[in-house]
A and B are shown apart, each in its own frame.
Chain A
Amino acid sequence: GMPVEQNPPALSLYEGADSGLRCNFSTTMKSVQWFQQNHRGRLITLFYLAQGTKENGRLKSTFNSKERYSTLHIKDAQLEDSGTYFCAAQSSGSWQLIFGSGTQLTVMP
């Protein structure tokens, strides 16, 4: 299978709702990053994790290398959260980030 599988491919939320995205890895990864790609195509770095959990405002991300997954949780969704969210993981011995296929998030009023 794909080295990085991201779910769901698309997600619609009402303002104020909470939800989560998930990436599963086919092999052990040493780190993961989460990005938001806005409607202009710009990639905004949200998190870098080598392990554990990080929070930033309404966003929280967890990376479990041993269990081969990472999650991104969005709390109290706002209209400006709309965009495509990508996880990207780096395996040992490689420089490259392997991107998931993205989750297209639409937040509705």
Chain B
Amino acid sequence: GPKVLQIPSHQIIDMGQMVTLNCDPVSNHLYFYWYKQILGQQMEFLVNFYNGKVMEKSKLFKDQFSVERPDGSYFTLKIQPTALEDSAVYFCASSRTGGGGQNTLYFGAGTRLSVL
């Protein structure tokens, strides 16, 4: 099926530093998402992005978080500064439509972020 690529697969960083997680979504998809999964827990929505704008974000999407997709390149999640509680696996997803119709989301393999 359609593939979403995430780079890197694992990132280790010191608390307080900045980190950028990269996502290469499915090529003809227009809607992009980040989800967070703490080990052993369920997946939680962070943010949805379309046409250069954040459409919806959850309370987990703190002020230290930002997303962008400059000029159709990677869709990125930046955390600045990082905190210990940011340690989790971050999943990127993309979909062709945003709602109604076949809004099937396809997920990447995740980036495991370890904040020390």
Contact = CB atoms under 8 A, between A and B. Distances in A.
Contacts of A43: 43, 91, 107, 110
A94 B98 CA distance: 9
A106 to B, nearest CB: 16
**B interface residue count range (under 10 / 10 to 19 / 20 to 34 / 35 or more):** 20 to 34
A99 B110 contact: no
Interface string B85-110: 00001010000001110111111011
Given A45-B105, A48-B102, 20 more contacts: A31-B103, A33-B104, A41-B89, A41-B112, A42-B110, A43-B91, A45-B104, A45-B107, A48-B103, A86-B42, A88-B105, A90-B99, A90-B103, A95-B31, A95-B48, A95-B55, A95-B56, A95-B99, A99-B44, A102-B42
Interface of B: 1, 31, 33, 35, 42-45, 48, 55-56, 58, 89, 91, 98-100, 102-107, 109-110, 112
